């Protein structure tokens, strides 16, 4: 999508609601384009046997839950040069300006490459979003899941499937239509992750999914779902991400006209 973000402030900003949202939205633009941000991801390279990765020196292979590298001239690990060694998730890895990250998904291990000079960064024109509207701070009810509850999830840009822990459900209604969204745990403690589609998906908003992250309530009870803070998933910024897609229960038949819509590209000059 090409153009200028159409986000507008609400007319009455006396409560600071719109100003706070605008600050959040501006920070999102900065974060996705910053070094290590979603726009800089240029590859997710899954490892098995000895693997050569385009643009990187050396040979890379899976070794247990770690990665063995050999002949990687120019690689630094936590700021120190390393040509051969065993690498772990969480270490600071780089080759020149390109940052690397080791990720583990289930039993599989990959090396990700983040290039601050990626073409997507130069082409980035901002994140288009709906105007902030307090009406989309929706009252709901949280219901915790059974401790061992899981749900089977497919992923974008991949044939990967996985079972995610369910943290609970969030029930709410919009214009008389009831819904109950399943929230999953995707690695951050104290956070509920909702991946959903609605009647805007593939039309005015990004098609595969949008995300809403909420603080995980400590117990069942009333909550507020602020759909103004709905975000685009990482896979909207780079095809090298794989993102959890909505389960059937999280495909809403009505529109959620709130939050982020699409990634914009700069107009050619």
Q: Tell me: the pLDDT tens digits for 28-38?
A: 999 999 999 99
CB 68 within 8 A of CB 61: yes
Q: Tell me: the pLDDT tens digits for 3-24?
A: 433 333 334 454 699 999 999 9
The Cα 264–Cα 181 span in angstroms is 28
Residue 266's pLDDT is what? Answer: 84
**Could you give phi then psi for residue 205, rounded to 5 degrees?**
-125, 165
10-19, 47-56, 62-71, 76-85: the lowest-pLDDT one: 10-19
Q: Tell me: the pLDDT tens digits for 172-231?
A: 999 999 999 999 999 899 999 999 999 999 999 999 999 999 999 999 999 999 999 999
Domain ranges of the chain: 39-115, 131-262
pTM for the whole structure? 0.90
Question: For residue 260, what pLDDT band results from cuts at 50, 70 and 90?
Answer: very high
Residue 201's pLDDT is what? Answer: 98
Using the predicted structure, report yes or no on whether residue 269 has a pLDDT greater than 60.
no
Q: Tell me: the pLDDT tens digits for 129-169?
A: 999 999 999 999 999 999 999 999 999 988 888 999 999 99
> With helix as H, strand as E and coil as C, how does the chain read?
CECCCCCCCCCCCCCCHHHHHHHHHHHHHHHHHCCCCHHHEEEEEECCCCECCCCCCCEEEEECCEEEEECCCCEEECCEECCCEEECCCCCEEECCEEEEEEEECCEEEEEEECCCCHHHHHEEEEEECCCCHHHEEEEEEEECCCCCEEEEEECCCCCEEEEEEEEEEEEEECCEEEEEEEECCCCCCEEEEEEECCCECCCECCCCEEEEEECCCCCEEEEEEHHHCECCHHHCCCCCCCECCCHHHECCCCCCCCEEEEEECCCC
Residue 157's pLDDT is what? Answer: 87
């Amino acid at each position: 999508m090409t153009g200028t973000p159409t986000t507008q402030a609400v007319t009455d900003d006396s409560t600071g609601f719109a100003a706070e949202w605008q600050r959040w939205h501006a920070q999102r633009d900065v974060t996705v384009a910053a070094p290590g941000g979603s726009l800089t991801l240029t590859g997710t390279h899954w490892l098995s046997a000895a693997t050569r990765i385009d643009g990187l020196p050396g040979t890379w292979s899976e070794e247990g839950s770690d990665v063995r590298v050999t002949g990687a001239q120019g690689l630094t690990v936590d700021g120190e040069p390393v040509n051969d060694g065993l690498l772990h998730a969480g270490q600071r890895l780089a080759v020149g300006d390109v940052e690397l990250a080791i990720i583990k998904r289930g039993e599989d291990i990959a090396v990700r490459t983040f290039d601050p000079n990626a073409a997507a960064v130069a082409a980035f024109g901002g994140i288009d979003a709906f105007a902030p509207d307090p009406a989309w701070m929706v009252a709901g009810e949280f219901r915790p899941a059974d401790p061992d509850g899981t749900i089977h999830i497919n992923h974008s840009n991949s044939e990967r499937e996985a079972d995610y822990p369910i943290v609970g459900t969030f029930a709410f209604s919009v214009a008389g239509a009831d819904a109950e969204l399943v929230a999953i745990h995707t690695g951050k403690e104290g956070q509920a992750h909702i991946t959903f589609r609605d009647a805007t998906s593939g039309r005015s908003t990004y098609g595969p999914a949008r995300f809403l992250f909420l603080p995980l309530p400590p117990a069942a009870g009333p909550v507020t779902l602020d759909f103004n803070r709905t975000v685009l998933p990482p896979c909207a910024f780079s095809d090298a991400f794989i993102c959890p897609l909505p389960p059937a229960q999280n495909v809403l038949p009505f529109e959620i006209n709130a939050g982020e819509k699409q990634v914009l590209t700069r107009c050619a000059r």
